[in-house]
Structure 1
Amino acid sequence: MVVVPRQGGELAVGGPAEQVTEAWLANRRLSEHTRAAYRRDVSAWLAWCAERGADPLRVSFLDVNAYARGLESLKLAPATVARKLSGLSSWYDFLMKIRAIDANPVAGADRPYVSRDHSATLGLAPEEVDALLAAAASAGVRHFAVMTILADLGLRVGELVGLDLGDLGWERGHRTVRFVGKGGKQRRRALTPAASAALDGYLAVRGDAEGPLFVTSTGGRLDRHAVFRLIRRLAGEAGIQEADRLSPHSLRHAFATAARAEGVPLEDVQDAMGHADPRTTRRYDRDRHNLDRDPAYMIAAARARRAGG
């Protein structure tokens, strides 16, 4: 049972605050990466309150606004500030549910506007993805397998590094990979022939011992930071502009954009990427404003066929 002081009590970093945070996280389906980010966000907020002698249980939306403006002064992206406030809002909602507070101070705060139609992640053109994969092929079988799976399946980096050897399988003639997606959802995807071949090349070197699918030279699990460094190094070797701004998410963007450009229905891309909201998928589609895809052309063509028939 989590014991939290009622309003007027003290809630600071450590002790009851950590208990509350862990109880809150335990009641949500989140990846370990997201849990760690939320812990950092709550700790940063509590530290900010402590520096100003503010009781987190008695702050108002004005305090939250001041905190948000401070984050913005650090040149954090609006989406980053909005995410941090969203996590705090969820934390305070939990405090309301356990009756530690009567109102959520984040609810009335002035959150930065973040367009659902825009993403700050730098994308890649299909030709740049090809060049990146060529550089990966020259760098080694593990690097090539990592980049090919990211490019062909559009996985999140956390989903990729969380894979175990036992997650590989077969289903109705498809070679598959199972993983835990965002929100703790169990998902499975089919491996393309290219991804399957790249994976086989890597497994021939890795061996069939149990454990993480992608391992370091010392046998530990490959982490997201290593994948970030890898894609930037390979992009630099491939001559891709702004290589130092790329991330594994750039390949996820490229996957969505290429799929839509090839005519894959939005619903299928949404399912493949594990998005609950189709608007999220559309944000990744960098070619969505291409006038060649204006439905007016299809409607006019259909009218012309009827008139000609």
Structure 2
Amino acid sequence: MDPVDLLNDWLATSALRPSTRAEYHREVTSFLEWCALEQNPRTGEPRHPVDPIGAGPAEIARWSYDTHLHQYLGDRSFDGPDALGYLAAHHPDVARSHDRRVTALTGYYDAAVARRIITIPPDLKVLRSGVPRPPGAKNRLTPRERAVLLACTGAWGPTRSKHWQRDQLCVFLLLEGLRPAQVVRVDRRHLYPHPDGSWDVRAPDDAENVGRKFTLDPLTGAALKAYLAVRPEPADPDEHALILSSRRTATFSRWPNKLIGQIAATHPLLVDRDPALPPEEREKPITADAVAHTGLWDTPAS
């Protein structure tokens, strides 16, 4: 499989949101095009093309510098923590964009490992600036918003949705810290109940490995039991996803975000999160990612 085919196959089979797939396709394509160049795009000097499959942090750092960072680093070379620290301190937005590009390439090389094209992916953690979200940006719900969401979820019954037990479970799984792509990948064969009402679950990753273990609170366990009692048989006997669509097929990672939007729309405190602020300064409606970062009882450690 050549590098472009790998990119297309990875994104076509991933659970990423369409907007994220488009962004990752743009960034990785930029890297692949840079690898094929026979001259430095910045200086015009001759150079040897780079094998993208065999590239490592050094080559990716050169691509980042040549195509994105040189205008911000001035006379500094992109050669390690000092350059990353400078970007973080003086150009945090640029540093965050750089980290997203590193994330895109990390996924690309993980896909190469999953397809046995390479054995070990390059360690790209050394290229991350680690700049957090801007101060004041909400990537999780406030305690009041969480309380309102739980109330709205409890009221999300048969008059709201034919599949209300499934919808309630989705919200609780997000509050347990599962990301949207993990929620839709929970495998019904990897559900392990405990006597106290809690459950252990595992959500397969992009490579369909068993995935990280989540221990669900008894509150989520009760929602899981309620859904299992009404969960339909999948249209395909080989489909093992816990969460099924109305067509009895696996859902997509964008579905939890759509559901959260529908539930949030039932309460003004979730629709209009900062009514005292001018419209242009208000927070956007809550998302499934924001719920996953919130936690059922307290903010997750990571």
TM over 0.5: yes
Q: How does 1:137-176 map to 2 (within 5 A)?
A: 137-138=155-156, 139-140=160-161, 141=164, 142-151=166-175, 153-171=176-194, 173=196, 174-176=198-200
Partner amino acid, structure 2, of 1:204: A
Q: Per-residue deviation at 1:113?
A: 6.3
Q: Per-residue deviation at 1:60?
A: 8.9
Structure 2 match to 1:251: 291
Contact 1:165 1:212 in 2 (8 A): yes
Contact 2:36 2:50 in 1 (8 A): no
Residue ranges of structure 1 left out of the alignment (5+ in a row): 1-14, 26-30, 95-103, 261-268, 271-280, 282-309
* Cα-to-partner distance string for 1:93-128 (whole Å, 9 max, x where unaligned): x9xxxxxxxxx9x9998x766149979552112221
**Which is helix-richer, 1 or 2?**
1
Q: Does 1:131 align with 2:117?
A: no
How far apart, CA to CA, are the structure 1 residues paired with 2:6 and 2:248?
35
How far apart, CA to CA, are the structure 1 residues paired with 2:213 and 2:233?
21
How far apart, CA to CA, are the structure 2 residues paired with 1:225 and 1:167?
23
How many residues end up aligned between the 2 structures?
A: 226
Q: 1:194 to 1:16 in 2, by over 3 A?
A: closer
Q: 1:84 to 1:225 in 2, by over 3 A?
A: same
Q: 1:90 to 1:134 in 2, by over 3 A?
A: closer
Q: Per-residue deviation at 1:80?
A: 4.0
Structure 2 match to 1:266: none
How far apart, CA to CA, are the structure 1 residues paired with 2:31 and 2:63?
10
Pick the aligned partner of 1:57 from 47, 50, 54: 50
How far apart, CA to CA, are the structure 2 residues paired with 1:33 and 1:222?
10
Pick the aligned partner of 1:232 from 261, 273, 291: 261
Structure 2 match to 1:273: none
Q: Does 1:68 align with 2:68?
A: yes
Q: Per-residue deviation at 1:206?
A: 2.0
TM-score, normalising length: structure 1:
0.54
Q: 1:192 to 1:219 in 2, by over 3 A?
A: same
Q: 1:208 to 1:33 in 2, by over 3 A?
A: closer
Partner amino acid, structure 1, of 2:146: V
Structure 1 match to 2:31: 45
Structure 1 match to 2:201: 177
SS of equivalent to 2:131: coil
Q: How does 1:77-88 map to 2 (within 5 A)?
A: 78-85=95-102, 87-88=104-105
SS of equivalent to 1:197: helix
Partner amino acid, structure 1, of 2:243: F
* Cα-to-partner distance string for 1:140-186 (whole Å, 9 max, x where unaligned): 422211102212x1212222111122222224654332234699574
Contact 1:232 1:243 in 2 (8 A): no
How far apart, CA to CA, are the structure 2 residues paired with 1:66 and 1:203?
53
Pick the aligned partner of 1:215 from 240, 244, 247: 244
How far apart, CA to CA, are the structure 2 residues paired with 1:107 and 1:195?
34
Q: Per-residue deviation at 1:194?
A: 1.9
How far apart, CA to CA, are the structure 2 residues paired with 1:17 and 1:145?
39
Residue ranges of structure 2 left out of the alignment (5+ in a row): 42-47, 52-58, 73-92, 113-121, 274-281
Flag the structure with larger Rg: 1
Q: 1:126 to 1:172 in 2, by over 3 A?
A: same
TM-score, normalising length: structure 2:
0.55
Partner amino acid, structure 2, of 1:131: V
Q: 1:205 to 1:39 in 2, by over 3 A?
A: same
Q: 1:201 to 1:56 in 2, by over 3 A?
A: farther
SS of equivalent to 1:254: coil
Q: State, as a whole percentage, how many aligned pairs show the same letter.
A: 22
How far apart, CA to CA, are the structure 2 residues paired with 1:41 and 1:215?
32
Task: Kindly report the root-mean-square deviation, in angstroms, between the aligned alpha carbons of the 2 structures.
Answer: 4.8
Q: Per-residue deviation at 1:213?
A: 0.9
Contact 1:122 1:245 in 2 (8 A): no
Structure 1 match to 2:221: 196
Contact 2:179 2:292 in 1 (8 A): yes
Partner amino acid, structure 2, of 1:123: R
Q: Does 1:187 align with 2:220?
A: no
